[in-house]
Every structure is written in structure tokens, then in C-alpha cells.
């Protein structure tokens, strides 16, 4: 019998809130956390305010080795485990799949090396751990006691969606019965801001911060860096039923691909991105017309949104699904964006609510069904898609179980 995979717990730390209910309240109340960055007033950021990892972990000394992105990973993974109600012991044979980005805190953290020496007083003996991508996975495994198959995925902004996709496949293919999957990231450090500003990927300007992120709008001019983390407990359906786990949704298809084209820009026709989306639909055994909603990557950059709007139009033809763009609410959480956007989409699915794409005044495509005002709208199937620097593409299909 075909093995099916369901999501049975969610842990999320986002600028909209730290539970599905809080997130829905922020969406309906139109509350966002955009603000001007302290050290560079041209840049708008979307921080998670008042985040303290110790409120998730309690005192633990290895916290000293977690960069801010890794802290979001650890916090949301612990939250997912806690919300599952399962005993820690039951995670011994679980898998662990983590999307992670680089630590770009070059000003605050990365030392200047002169003649082989580093002249910094606050440099830790093991500062390397703040830069290794698997530090979050190591800490999560220690805190929860996970020993199973695992992977840390670092494919730029596609990372955490791919981590979830790989975990889904491992369970579907029988290598695991359950896995924790997700990711956390932050690029709000001065080094991170500098990196994306130099790459000309950020929204630069002086207007109201809330107006900065405008995916699919003709006036879009870059993304707003965000941060946060989300983790999911994935279980094989029969096991989940046997244990009486609460089932949020079924993961039923995954696809990923590479553009093989350019270091940063998406390939214009979106051919490979479409391949990833079609592969996910095929694995899910659904036709495009059966998809109710698409959570777009929608960065608010000129190139991504143009390519993405075109391929959404092409794939769905006459049966266009409702398109939401959650980066207009939380900014771009880099490698964690897929996990966060899945968490928010699942919260919306449960509530039957589609949030508007904020600041979408003049859509860049006339035929795509962008959600223009928030509305109660039950939806049962959704595609989450993400594209990353380097031509990384990924898509995931989720189905409601209600």
C-alpha cells in the first residue's frame, strides 16, 4: 500500500506571531512588523520582536554557538516537538531535515585576519560553530534526542522547502516513519543587509516601511529582509492515526530543479521552475485545475515576480488558483522562507482565510488571480513554491484533511 505523509505538529516563530492563531489574528488585523533598519535607514526590515531563545530552551550553554538564524531553527523545532504532545523518547528514531543559510554577520561576527592572527577580544575558541550550517541540526538533535536519518540543506531561498520535501520523500519511501523538518534564518545583521544591498536585491527608499514589500506590483523594486523559523512534525499516515495525532494536512507532492543558468537571476522563461512545480503536481496525482491556492515565492524583485507570474499563468491555464504572496507580510526570510510560508499557509487553510497581497496596486500580470483583499475562502489544496539564488527551484503540494 502506498505510504502517505501528514503534518501532525507545527512550531513557528514569525514576525506575525508564534502560533497559528496569532498569525491569523495578525493577518486579519493587518499587523506587520516592518520598520527601518537601525544602521541603514534606506533599508526596511521585518524583525521578530522580543525573541529570546531561552524561553524555548531554558538555560543551555551551547546557545553561545547559535547564530540568530540557527536560534530560530532550534526554537521552532522545540516548539513543534512540544506541540506534538509526544514524549521526547519517541523521537529517537525520527529523522531531522534542516534548511539553513550562511551566517552573514560579517561585521558583528566575522573577524578580520591579519598575518594569520585575529585581533578580537570576544572571539570564541569555537567561533567556527556559528558559521557551520549544521550547528542548528546538532543542537536540535542533542536537545530532543534525535538519532535518525538527517540532512542539512543549503540551497539558498529554496532550502527549507527542500528540507521538508526530502523528509516527505524519506517517509513516503519507507526509510523513516517520522521526521522533523523545517528551518530558521535571519539576514538582518549589518553584514546580511550589506550583502543583499550590494547585490541590488533590496527595496531601497524612504517611504512608509509598511509599503516597502510589494510582490507582483508594477512598482516593486526589491525585497524586505525578514527572519524567523518554522518546523513540522511529519508522520506516516497510519502511524499518525494509530497514535491519535492531530493531523493538520497531507503532504502529497514535491519537486525541485536547477536552472543551470545564472548565479542570481532566474532563467527568464522559468522552464526549470515549471518543471519543479509540475513534478510536485504529478507526484500528488492532482491536475493543475484541482489546485485552489498558490503561495508564491513573490519576493518583490523585478525578475522573480515577472518570471513567476508568467509560469503560474502557463501552468494553470483557464483554471487559475488564488495566488497569495506572504513575503508582503513577513518579508523574505531567506533559507527559512519556505518553512514559514508553509506554516502560514496551513494556518490559513485551517481557518479558511486567504490574506491579500499587501501593496499590490497595479498587478504585473493581468490574468493571474492575485488575492487583492483578504477573504474567508475555504481551500483544500495548495502549492507552496520557492526559488533561490543559483537557480534553485522547489514546490510542495499540501492537501487539507477536513
Partner 1 sequence: MNIFAEIEKILAELLDLEDSDITPDTYLIKDLGAESIDLLELAVAINNRFKIPVKDDDIFLGCFRHYMSEAEQQMADTVPYIAEKYPFLTKDRIKEIAARTVEGPQLKIRDLVDYVTYQLERARHAGNDDS
3-state secondary structure of 73: helix
113 binds partner 1 (CB under 8 A): no
Q: Which of 332, 337, 348, 364 is catalytic?
A: 332
Q: Which CB atom, from 65 or from 254, has the smaller least distance to partner 1?
A: 65
What sign results for the dihedral spanned by CA atoms 189, 194, 196, 202? Answer: positive
- 121 or 373, CB closer to partner 1? 121
Direct distance between the N- and C-terminal alpha carbons of the chain, in angstroms, rounded to an integer: 22
Partnered with residue 400 across adjacent β-strands are 249
Our finding on whether 92 is near partner 1 (CB under 8 A) is no
Sole binder of partner 1 in the list 125, 198, 207, 373 (CB under 8 A): 125
Q: Which stretch binds partner 1 (CB under 8 A): 55-63, 134-142, 146-154, 387-395?
A: 55-63
Tell me whether residue 128 or residue 218 sits nearer to partner 1 (CB atom). Answer: 128
Instruction: Tell me the C-alpha distance between 25 and 32, whole Å.
Output: 11
332 is catalytic: yes
Kindly state whether residue 118 participates in binding partner 1, applying the rule CB under 8 A.
no
Residues 253-282 that bind partner 1 (CB under 8 A): none
Q: Provide the strand spans (E) within 44-201.
A: 44-45, 95-99, 113-114, 117-118, 150-153, 178-186
Of 59 and 366, nearer to partner 1 (C-beta) is: 59
Of 114 and 121, CB closest to partner 1: 121
- Would you count residue 124 as binding partner 1 (CB under 8 A)? yes
Could you give the C-alpha distances from 395 to 26, 48, 146, 222, in angstroms and in order? 26, 26, 27, 22
The residue among 121 and 206 lying less far from partner 1, judged by its C-beta, is 121
Question: Catalytic: which of 157, 178, 256, 348?
Answer: 157
233 pairs with which residues across the strands? 9, 180
SS3 label, residue 375: strand
Q: Which stretch binds partner 1 (CB under 8 A): 60-68, 92-100, 166-174, 372-380?
A: 60-68
Report how many residues bind partner 1 under the rule CB under 8 A.
11
Restricting to residues 63-82, name those near partner 1 by CB under 8 A: 63-64
Q: Following DSSP, what letter does each residue of 288-340 receive, concatenated?
A: GGG--EEE----S-HHHHHHHHHHHHHHHTTSPPEEE-THHHH-B-GGGHHHH
Question: Among 19, 60, 247, 258, which residue interacts with partner 1 (rule: CB under 8 A)?
Answer: 60
SS3 278: helix
SS3 241: helix
In this chain, which of 38, 92, 123, 319 binds partner 1, going by CB under 8 A?
123
Catalytic residue among 18, 178, 252, 297: 297
Give the shortest CB-60-to-partner 1 separation in angstroms.
6
Q: How far is CA 76 from the centre of its chain?
A: 12
Contacts of 356 (CB under 8 A, 6+ apart): 371, 372, 373, 374
Q: Pick from 126, 199, 319, 377: which binds partner 1 (CB under 8 A)? A: 126
Cβ pair 370, 363 in contact under 8 A: yes
Helical axes 337-351 vs 159-172, angle rounded to 10°: 70
Considering the complex, what minimum distance in angstroms separates the CB of residue 62 from partner 1?
9
- Among 114, 117, 121, 373, indicate the residue that binds partner 1 (CB under 8 A): 121
Binding residue (CB under 8 A) for partner 1 from 2, 61, 115, 318: 61
Among 122, 173, 244, 366, binds partner 1 (CB under 8 A): 122
State which residue, 53 or 330, has the beta carbon closest to partner 1: 53
366 binds partner 1 (CB under 8 A): no
> Whole-angstrom Cα distance, residue 229 to residue 226?
10
Minimal distance, residue 58 CB to partner 1, in Å: 9
Catalytically active residues, by annotation: 157, 297, 332
Task: List residues near partner 1 by CB under 8 A.
Answer: 59-61, 63-64, 121-126
Amino acid at each position: 500500500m502506498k505510504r502517505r505523509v501528514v503534518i501532525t505538529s507545527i512550531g513557528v516563530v514569525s514576525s506575525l506571531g508564534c502560533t497559528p492563531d496569532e498569525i491569523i489574528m495578525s493577518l486579519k488585523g493587518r499587523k506587520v512588523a516592518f520598520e527601518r533598519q537601525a544602521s541603514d535607514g534606506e533599508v526596511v526590515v521585518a524583525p521578530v520582536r522580543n525573541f529570546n531563545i531561552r524561553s524555548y530552551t531554558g538555560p543551555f550553554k551551547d546557545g553561545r554557538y547559535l547564530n540568530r538564524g540557527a536560534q530560530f531553527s532550534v526554537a521552532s523545532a522545540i516548539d513543534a516537538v512540544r506541540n506534538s504532545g509526544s514524549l521526547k523518547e519517541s523521537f529517537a528514531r525520527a529523522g531531522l531535515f534542516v534548511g539553513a543559510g550562511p551566517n552573514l554577520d560579517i561585521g558583528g561576527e566575522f573577524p578580520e585576519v591579519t598575518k594569520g592572527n585575529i585581533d578580537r577580544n570576544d572571539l570564541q575558541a569555537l567561533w567556527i560553530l556559528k558559521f557551520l550550517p549544521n550547528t542548528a541540526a546538532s543542537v536540535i538533535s542533542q536537545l530532543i534526542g534525535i538519532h535518525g536519518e538527517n540532512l542539512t540543506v543549503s540551497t539558498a531561498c529554496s532550502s527549507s522547502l527542500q528540507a521538508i520535501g526530502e523528509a516527505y520523500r524519506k517517509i513516503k519511501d519507507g526509510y523513516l516513519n517520522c521526521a522533523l523538518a523545517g528551518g530558521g534564518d535571519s539576514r538582518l545583521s549589518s553584514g546580511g543587509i550589506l550583502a543583499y544591498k550590494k547585490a541590488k536585491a533590496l527595496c531601497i527608499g524612504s517611504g512608509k516601511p509598511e509599503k516597502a514589500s510589494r510582490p507582483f506590483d508594477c512598482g516593486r523594486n526589491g525585497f524586505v529582509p525578514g527572519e524567523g523559523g518554522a518546523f513540522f512534525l511529519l508522520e506516516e499516515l497510519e502511524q499518525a492515526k494509530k497514535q491519535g495525532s492531530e493531523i493538520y494536512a497531507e503532504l502529497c507532492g514535491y519537486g525541485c530543479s536547477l536552472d543551470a543558468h545564472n548565479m542570481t537571476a532566474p532563467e527568464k522563461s522559468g522552464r526549470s521552475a515549471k518543471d519543479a512545480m509540475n513534478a510536485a503536481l504529478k507526484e500528488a496525482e492532482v491536475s493543475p485545475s484541482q489546485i485552489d491556492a498558490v503561495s508564491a515565492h513573490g519576493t518583490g524583485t523585478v525578475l522573480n515576480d515577472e518570471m513567476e507570474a508568467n509560469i503560474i499563468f502557463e501552468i494553470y491555464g483557464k483554471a487559475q488558483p488564488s495566488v497569495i504572496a506572504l513575503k508582503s507580510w513577513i518579508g523574505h526570510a531567506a533559507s527559512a522562507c519556505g518553512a514559514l510560508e508553509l506554516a502560514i499557509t496551513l494556518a490559513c487553510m485551517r481557518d479558511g482565510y486567504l490574506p491579500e497581497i499587501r501593496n499590490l496596486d497595479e498587478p504585473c500580470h493581468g490574468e493571474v488571480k492575485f488575492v487583492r483583499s483578504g477573504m474567508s475562502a475555504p481551500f483544500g489544496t495548495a502549492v507552496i513554491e520557492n526559488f533561490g539564488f543559483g537557480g534553485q527551484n522547489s514546490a510542495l503540494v499540501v492537501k487539507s484533511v477536513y
